[in-house]
Homo-oligomer: A and B are copies of this chain.
Amino acid sequence: MSDHATTTPRRAATRARLLAAAKDVIADRGAGGATVEGIAERAGFTRGAFYSNYASLDELIVDVIREVVETRLAQVRVAATQFAQHREADGLTIHAALEGGVRDFVHLLQPPMQEVLLQSELRLYALRHEGARAGYVAAVRETMTGVYEILETLFASLGVQIRASPEITMDILMGFFDQGSVMSYLELGRVDPDVQVDRLGRLLDVIIDRSPSPG
């Protein structure tokens, strides 16, 4: 029963451990392969604890989705802030700033394999479960507009123009990122940051109008 009005600290801690365990289990066995037993066990509990906190597996997974998508937006914000400070401090040319920015973003945002698996699983889960769709879509859309705003500000400060609408731009970026990390892991078993920096740089040449580089 998750609808307890009163959430004691103990309860909250248990739920947090179950949540973390669920992320692990879903990442390595898939949403379809995740069992109540497996999750409870990985969290160091028995199934009793699970059923005392959630009515069903689905209920927990919905929580996982919310948390994961929110975390992603937060990461982008951090990366953007870091880049902005970095650039301000160094007073770089546009060319150098873009190059450095790409590098920063790749290093800060390249997802570990766990994360790639988890994201893919959750997307699939949402596709299959009507009930999870609305929440998932809302969270993703929020992330997308958030990221776009960040990019817009960054690019504006560099004096470069984005060539497409926000929606198309974000679809391209998100698809490109996914595609890139998945193929990396499939081919190398890891993400090579240099390759990703190069890839993202080339993508940028496509989606923005770079002003004639003064550097």
Report which A residues bind B (CB closer than 8 A).
Answer: 28-34, 113, 116-117, 120-121, 123-124, 126-128, 133, 136-137, 140, 163-165, 168, 171-172, 174-180, 182-183, 185-187, 199, 202-203, 205-207
Q: How close is A132's CB to chain B, nearest CB, in angstroms?
A: 9
Partner of A172, one of B28, B34, B140, B176: B176
CA–CA, A189 and B143, complex, Å = 21
Query: In the complex, are the beta carbons of A206 and B124 less than 8 A apart?
Result: no
Which of B34, B117, B168, B178 meets A178, CB within 8 Å?
B178
Smallest CB gap from A175: residue in B: B175
CB neighbours of A137 from chain B (8 A): 183, 186-187
Docked complex Cα distance between A143 and B47 (Å):
45
Docked-complex contact A120 and B117, CB < 8 angstroms: no
B174 and A123 contacting across the interface, CB-CB below 8 Å: no
Complex CA–CA separation, A199 to B117 (angstroms): 27
* Contact status of A171 and B182, CB under 8 A, knowing A117-B127, A120-B120: no
Most chain B Cβ neighbours within 10 Å, of A120, A168, A175 = A175
Task: Point out the residues of chain B lying under 8 angstroms from A206, CB to CB.
Answer: 163-164, 168, 172, 206-207
Which B residues are in CB contact (< 8 Å) with A186?
126-127, 133, 136-137, 140
